[in-house]
Each structure stands twice: as C-alpha cells, then as structure tokens.
Amino acid sequence: MTARATSATLAASPSRGTPWSKAETARLGMWVFITSEVLFFGGLLFAYLHGRTHWPAGFAVASRHTDAVLGTLNTGILLTSSAAIAWALACAQHRPHARWTARLLCLTAALGTVFIVIKGMEYRAEWHDHLFPGPAFALAATQGAELFFMLYFVMTSLHALHLAIGVAGVGVFAWGSGRRRPWAAPRRIEVMALYWHFVDVIWIFLYPLLYLVERHS
C-alpha cells in the first residue's frame, strides 16, 4: 500500500477527525495534565504530612488561628461553582438549554472571583495578626506553627493562582458561548470544566487539613 493510499484510508476512518474522537483526545489530554498537577500538589501535601506528624500540637494551635467560618464559606462557594460549570456543560450539550451555558459559566467565574476576594480578606486579617512567617511571627514560641503557616500560605496561594487562571478561562468561554462563537464548542467547555473541578478537588482536601485541625480544643 502506498503512502497516499494509507493516508486516504486513515482519513476515511470513522474514528479519525470526528467530533467524538476530538472530544476524547481533549478529555484525555486534560486528565494527563491533571495527573501532573496531582503530583505538583502531592509534594506539598507530603510536606504537610511530615510537619503534622512531627509537630502535631504546633499544627493544631496554628490551625485554630485560621478563620473556619470564611474557610467553610469558601468551600461552599467552590462546590457550588463546580455544580454550576457541570450544569453549564450539560446545557451546552442539550440544544434547547444552550442559552443557559453562558449564564452558568458567568456564575461560575463570579463565584471563583468571590472565593479569591474572601481569600484576600483572610490574608489581610492574618497579616495584621502577624501570622505571616517571618521575624514578627505571633506564634514563634510554638514549634511547628510557623511551618504550618508557611505551608498554609504556599498551598492556598498556589490554589488561588490556579483558580484565577480558571476564572479567566471560564470568563473567555462565557463570552464565546454567549456570542455563539464556534470555538466555544461543548468539547472545549468540557476540558475547561475538568480543570475547574480539579481545582475544586484540591480545595476539598485543603479545607480539613488547614482549617479543621483540632477545633474542639
């Protein structure tokens, strides 16, 4: 078989170049990216595990200085945003509800923005309470407390950075979907949604690890 004939056979193949195969490829690509991100955050989670097993009392004291109310509020906001983007994708794939896609994507981006604003308010309060690691750290006499807050700021700021990228991406798709741009196709919205859900999953684990350590004491 000549090279031209092989190429013609492949082009005619029902699994090549169809919307299904493109969607499957895009989905797989995002899952591979998510795998790399799991390992990226995994190193930080391991550092946390090491600190918590070596200085449990220090981590407990430090965790009680975080704002559990705002942390819980932010968790609820992020879970709601995940539900909103999942529904946006369902609407994009169901023609009679397609007009809801842009609205739900806007809601998702807005909830993500509210999350970042609340996180900023938390950082501001923690800065004023001298909980930022450094020479004026308020809990310096408690072993492990400074390490906790170092990990707290690194993990939450990296998460917020990922979320900010997600807000920008979802915002672009909301705009494109509202104007019926062909590039805002359901298969691309699905990839964006996978990323958003992954950022949500990271927060699901950060919430009990950072905000809920020995709250009863």
Partner 1 sequence: MNDHDFARHSRRLLWAWLSLLALMLLSLGSAYLRLGMGNAVAGLAIAAIKAGMVALIFMRLARAGATVRLVATGSLGCLALLMGLSGIDYLTRAVVPSPLQPPRQLPALIEERTGR
Quick check: 76 binds partner 1 (CB under 8 A)? yes
CB closer to partner 1 out of 5 and 126: 126
Determine the straight-line distance between the first and last CA of the chain, rounded to whole angstroms: 76
Q: Are 125 and 166 in contact (CB under 8 A)?
A: no
CB closer to partner 1 out of 16 and 124: 16
Per-residue x/- track, 193-212, partner 1 (CB under 8 A) = xx--xx-xx--xx-xxx--x
| Token pair listed for 86 | 């999942």
| Token pair listed for 161 | 């950075």
- Nearest 5°: the CA angle 191, 197, 203 is 145
The correct pick among 16, 54, 99, 180 for binding partner 1 (CB under 8 A) is 54
From the list 87, 103, 47, 98, the residue with the least C-alpha distance to 196 is 87
Q: Are 111 and 81 in contact (CB under 8 A)?
A: yes
Per-residue x/- track, 92-111, partner 1 (CB under 8 A) = -xx-xx--------------
Quick check: 153 binds partner 1 (CB under 8 A)? no
Q: What are phi and psi of 75, to 5 degrees?
A: -65, -45
Tell me how far, at minimum, the Cβ of 147 lies from partner 1, in Å: 10
CB closer to partner 1 out of 2 and 53: 53
CB closer to partner 1 out of 99 and 124: 99
Whole-angstrom CA distances from 187 to 18, 25, 47, 60, 90 are: 12, 10, 36, 44, 11
Per-residue x/- track, 3-22, partner 1 (CB under 8 A) = --------------------
Burial of 10 (0-12, 13-18, 19+ CB in 10 A): exposed
Quick check: 141 binds partner 1 (CB under 8 A)? yes
Binding positions for partner 1, rule: CB under 8 A: 24, 27-28, 31-32, 34-35, 38-39, 42-43, 45-46, 49-50, 53-54, 68, 72, 75-76, 79-80, 82-83, 85-87, 90, 93-94, 96-97, 135, 137, 140-141, 143, 146, 193-194, 197-198, 200-201, 204-205, 207-209, 212-216
